[in-house]
Amino acid sequence: MATPARAVKVNRSGFPKNAYAGLPTTLCQGCGHNSITAHIITAYYELGISPYMVAKMSGIGCSSKAITYLIDSGHGFNGLHGRMPSVATGAAVTNRELYVIGVSGDGDTVNIGTGQFVHTVRRNVRMVYIIANNGVYGLTKGQFSATADVGVTLRTGEVNKQKPIDCCGLALELGCDFVARSYSGDPKHLVPLLKAAINHRGFALLDVISPCVTYNNHEGSTKSYKYVKEHAWPLDAVEFIPSYEPREVEHPEGETLEVKLPDGSYIVLKKLEKEYDPTDRIGALRVLREAAAKKQILTGLLYVNPDTTGFDQTLALVDKPLAQLSQEELRLPKETLEEIMEGFR
């Protein structure tokens, strides 16, 4: 007798998890970027977002290759080195229905792409921006990037003397309303953060420490698996409750903090650092400095402002994707045009 076929598990939109997969990875085995890819797939699948509505953007680097390995049926664009933010901005403003996600490297973001990155943060473009942060240029064989700490060494023994850029500190300073740091090897922390970021109404930065096993996983590194394990300073444990799920448990006051998002979803932060307030921007900058002085890697939702105003809102764009507007909707009525022309006489 033939065994009955097992029903394929699908999410609330009717998609199986493999609908969120991409091509097989060509990155090194054990690379943190592969874990990040897997966690992104889980987050979109569990939220039940249609894979066809995801726009995945990237620049150049091992990290930027990641978008090929996820959500094959999404819209994808590999930009130039450091130029992904402007392409992502274009997609986000011309189609407000898309879920835009950018996957970038630390080199792509704060070396080659610093100018584009800072203006996209400043404008509050609605997108999730993931920095797969390994402290080196992986694709070009392991040179220091701008996130490498003073005193760390290359595999060859060369010592870094340049001060690092803290991507979270930079984003906070620029007014970013969703700033978090996590670790590629911690799905329990990263997946709920990703879900919260996907539901945020503006620019959401996720700086994810992602060890490079080939060029930066040795004793002299502060982005190795061993170092992250020994020096992580977690502020919180994160849970995300989407708007379509009931909030069943009442959380004890003081130990947890619930952040309600405009669509009715909740971010629940179980505070491991009791005094920490993730709605205090200055406090976030202070703890980042304290962590750096103690040589700790601070992880958690560092700052969130759920009442943010995204770039699409600031521009007062129409809800409909621009490509779907009819000629009538796009063209000004003759009288309105005449009125405008009159204003210039």
Ligand X SMILES: Cc1ncc(C[n+]2csc(CCOP(=O)(O)OP(=O)(O)O)c2C)c(N)n1
Mark the segment that binds ligand X (CB under 6 A) among 114-122, 136-144, 178-186, 259-267.
136-144
Cα separation, 12 vs 25, whole angstroms: 27
Q: Judged by CB, which is closer to ligand X: 31, or 128? A: 31
Which member of 213, 237, 272, 292 binds ligand SF4 (CB under 6 A)? 213
Strands (DSSP E) found in the chain: 54-58, 75-78, 99-105, 127-133, 136-137, 143-144, 178-183, 203-209, 232-234, 236-241, 256-260, 266-271, 297-304
> Running DSSP on this structure, what letter comes out for residue 21?
B
Q: Which does residue 53 touch among ligand X, ligand SF4, none (CB within 5 to 8 A, set by kind)?
A: none
Cα-based distances in Å from 6 to 9, 20, 254:
9, 20, 45
Binding positions for ligand SF4, 8-37, rule CB under 6 A: 27-28, 31, 33
The pair phi, psi for residue 304, each rounded to 5°, is: -145, 135
CB of 139 to ligand SF4, least distance (A): 6
Cα 300 to Cα 286: distance, rounded to the nearest angstrom: 14
65 vs 189 by CB, closer to ligand X: 65
Helix axes 187-199, 32-47, angle to 10 degrees: 50
Q: Which does 118 bind (CB under 5 to 8 A by kind): ligand SF4, ligand X, none?
A: none
Q: Which is nearer to ligand X, 39 or 200 (CB)?
A: 39
Is residue 134 near ligand SF4 by the rule CB under 6 A?
yes
Q: Which residues from 43-62 bind ligand X, rule CB under 6 A?
A: 60-62
Q: How many CB atoms lie within 10 A of CB 114?
A: 15
Task: Give the position of tokens 């290359």.
Answer: 154
Place of tokens 């879920």: 99
Comparing CB distances to ligand SF4, the nearer of 213 and 237 is: 213
Q: Which does 259 bind (CB under 5 to 8 A by kind): ligand SF4, ligand X, none?
A: none
Return the exposure string of 286-310: e unless at least 16 CB atoms fall within 10 Å of the residue's CB, then b: ebbeebeeeeebbbbbbbbbbebeb
Q: Is 212 in the site for ligand SF4 (CB under 6 A)?
A: yes
Q: In angstroms, give the least distance from the CB of 61 to ligand X.
A: 3
Instruction: List the interface residues with ligand SF4, window 214-253 (CB under 6 A).
Output: 214-215
Q: Please tell me whether residue 110 binds ligand X under the rule CB under 6 A.
A: no
Show the site string, 46-75: x = touches ligand SF4 by CB under 6 A, - = not.
----------------x-------------
Task: Specify the residue, 167 or 212, whose C-beta has the smaller distance to ligand SF4.
Answer: 212
Strands 127-133 and 203-209: parallel
Residue from 22, 32, 85, 138 in contact with ligand X (CB under 6 A)? 138
CB 227 within 8 A of CB 221: yes
Give the integer Cα–Cα distance in Å for 216 and 179: 25
Among 74, 85, 102, 107, binds ligand X (CB under 6 A): 107
Report the candidate in 301, 312, 294, 255 with the shortest Cα–Cα distance to residue 278: 301
Give the interface with ligand SF4 as residue ranges (CB under 6 A). 27-28, 31, 33, 62, 134, 138-139, 212-215
Residues in contact with ligand X by CB under 6 A are 60-63, 81, 105-108, 112, 132, 134, 136-140, 145
